[in-house]
Amino acid sequence: MPLRLAAKDAALAAFVALVLAIPLIGFTTHETGSGTIVETRFRWVAIAVAVVFAGRLAWAFVPWRARRSSAPRLVQHRKLNTKYLGWLALAGAILWPFLPFASNYLIFLATTVLIYIMLGWGLNVVVGLAGLLNLGYAAFYAVGAYTLALAGQYWGIGFWEALPLCGVMAAIVGVLLALPVLRLRGDYLAIVTLGFGEIIRIVLINWQSFTGGPNGVNDLPLPTFFGMPFSARAPGGGKTFAQFFGLHFSPLANATERLIFIYYSILAVALLTNLLVLRLRRLPIGRAWEALREDEIASRALGINPINVKLSAFAIGALLAGFAGAFFGAHQSFVSPESFNFQESATVLAIVVLGGMGSQLGVVLAAIILVTLPEFGREFAQFRMLLFGASMVAIMVWRPRGLLSLRTPSIRLPEAPREAAP
């Protein structure tokens, strides 16, 4: 682009920025004892406009854009070689806690990433495979976490006993929601799930006598190592983890051991999840999900019962969210309704879509990016959610079909044997 055009374009962008900045950046109000005073900050406006102008001007001369011409071109699908990437990621995940730089914080972060990967894989079944837009996924996540918390509080059930219960409860809630609303199409379903997510959250906040209300539940049951707790003393005269392995007990080392154990537990469950989803995709039910996503009428004509198929997708998605919720509860050892707001559902959906719908590895990549991205900005905490939102937009504009957008056909017909030439 010639300089003159680029400058004109940048000037336009700067003008837009000026108009946008004047009311919200240029002025602000402060309430003082004697009334509200108006503060002007025109210097900020000038800075914002200058940044936009410079950025837009630089953008015009970015080398990779220069190659783009307006002439139509063949769409090329670059095939990413993802064959070994998955194994590499797995090896990295297994070795992670023992890498030299691994600190408690990094293991904690990796556990959070794994929880989101599980959530992403669960939602991937619903959105990516079955094509049902679910905007209230955090509700099932919440059911899982609260089942763990409340079962521990009222019945004294331990983590591993409660884990299946968490999944099953979430799945039951999922089916109960899905039964009446599965007839709805596309975005109607989306808004109903969104509303449902809010309903669950509001009930959790307001049903104080049962759920503890906005304060949440403390002291969730922590996972034990085959019945051996991670504590100084085992209840009931049993052995603790440290005693059994002859480790010296110290609170600090114990915390690390527990952290690593939770990390490996969720890694194992996540891998099982992955295996389950990969297998399900090849079963008739998985094919039915994808068929239904592609064309509901055609699959009905072929004898697929859409209600049953959608129900199963919803139930399995909810089941996985329930498991993830249980791990989330154990990981934080605290749950409150605010952990399950719409932003949570949106983040998981963003992970699925950014990863490339239906791609298991894409979910992993997107989860790593979206969970660690806000962590980088800890120093400028005010900006991190701003950057999070902006990068969601930017990634979508850059790769609308997700990072790993390759969609493999789930069945590959063998090459027809060539007829021998006569």
Partner 1 sequence: MSYFLQQLINGLTLGAIYGLIAIGYTMVYGIVGMINFAHGEIYMIGAFVSLITYFVLGVAGVTWVPLALALVLLSAMGFTAFYGWTVERVAYRPLRGSFRLAPLISAIGMSIFLQNYVQLVQGAQVKSMPPVIDGGFHLMETNGFVVQLSYLQIMIMLTTVALMAGFSIMIAATPLGRAQRACEQDMTMAALLGINVDRTISTTFVIGAILAAVAGMMVTLYYGVIDFFIGFLAGMKAFTAAVLGGIGSLPGAMLGGLLIGLIEAFWAGYFNAAYKDVAVFGILILVLIVRPSGLLGRPEVEKV
x/- string (CB under 8 A) for partner 1, residues 71-110? ----------------------------------------
Q: How far is CA 272 from the centre of its chain?
A: 18
CB of 386 to partner 1, least distance (A): 4
CB of 57 to partner 1, least distance (A): 17
- How many residues can be counted in the chain? 422
Q: Is 30 helix (H, G, I), strand (E, B) or coil?
A: strand
Supply 30's token pair.
Answer: 């402060």
**Binding residue for partner 1 (CB under 8 A) from 332, 333, 343, 410?**
343
**Single-letter code of the amino acid located at 151:** A
φ and ψ at residue 37, rounded to 5 degrees: -110, 150
- Give the Cα separation of 404 and 124 in Å (integer): 14
Give the relative orientation of helices 360-376 and 251-282 as an angle to the nearest 10 degrees.
150
Q: Is 218 helix (H, G, I), strand (E, B) or coil?
A: strand
For partner 1, which is the closer residue by CB, 155 or 188?
188
- Give the Cα separation of 217 and 252 in Å (integer): 24
**Binding residue for partner 1 (CB under 8 A) from 50, 202, 232, 268?**
202
Supply 14's token pair.
Answer: 């700067």
Q: Around Cβ 20, how many Cβ atoms within 10 Å?
A: 14
> Does 393 interact with partner 1 (rule: CB under 8 A)?
yes
R_g (Cα) of the chain, nearest Å: 26
φ and ψ at residue 172, rounded to 5 degrees: -65, -45
Piece of 99-107, 194-202, 219-227, 331-339 that binds partner 1 (CB under 8 A): 194-202
What element of type H or E holds 310?
A: helix 306-332
For partner 1, which is the closer residue by CB, 172 or 396?
396
CB of 78 to partner 1, least distance (A): 18
- Of 261-320, which residues contact partner 1 (CB under 8 A)? 295-298
**Binding residue for partner 1 (CB under 8 A) from 3, 8, 11, 28?**
28
CB of 90 to partner 1, least distance (A): 27
Supply 334's token pair.
Answer: 């605290």
Cβ atoms of residues 355 and 364 within 8 Å:
yes
Supply 43's token pair.
Answer: 């210097």
Alpha helices in 333-419 (DSSP H): 342-355, 360-376, 381-398
> Does 29 interact with partner 1 (rule: CB under 8 A)?
yes
φ and ψ at residue 247, rounded to 5 degrees: -90, 150
> Does 354 interact with partner 1 (rule: CB under 8 A)?
yes
> Does 406 interact with partner 1 (rule: CB under 8 A)?
no
- Give the Cα separation of 118 and 348 in Å (integer): 10
For partner 1, which is the closer residue by CB, 223 or 355?
355
Residue 29's DSSP bridge partners are 38
For partner 1, which is the closer residue by CB, 17 or 220?
17
φ and ψ at residue 87, rounded to 5 degrees: -65, -40
**Binding residue for partner 1 (CB under 8 A) from 7, 82, 401, 406?**
401
Piece of 65-73, 105-113, 233-241, 392-400 that binds partner 1 (CB under 8 A): 392-400
For partner 1, which is the closer residue by CB, 124 or 240?
124
> Does 140 interact with partner 1 (rule: CB under 8 A)?
no
> Does 422 interact with partner 1 (rule: CB under 8 A)?
no
> Does 185 interact with partner 1 (rule: CB under 8 A)?
yes
- Give the Cα separation of 125 and 44 in Å (integer): 46
| Interface with partner 1: number of residues (CB under 8 A) | 62
CB of 111 to partner 1, least distance (A): 24
CB of 110 to partner 1, least distance (A): 24
For partner 1, which is the closer residue by CB, 105 or 207?
207
> Does 357 interact with partner 1 (rule: CB under 8 A)?
yes
Piece of 79-87, 118-126, 186-194, 264-272 that binds partner 1 (CB under 8 A): 186-194
**Binding residue for partner 1 (CB under 8 A) from 62, 74, 397, 411?**
397
- Give the Cα separation of 79 and 84 in Å (integer): 13
Supply 375's token pair.
Answer: 């962590």
Strands (E), 151-251: 217-218
Residue 267's DSSP bridge partners are none
CB of 381 to partner 1, least distance (A): 11
Give the binding site for partner 1 (CB under 8 A): 16, 19-20, 22-25, 27-29, 31, 36, 38, 44, 127, 133, 180-181, 183-188, 190-192, 194-196, 198-199, 202-203, 205-206, 295-298, 342-343, 346, 349-350, 353-354, 357, 382-383, 385-386, 388-393, 396-397, 400-401
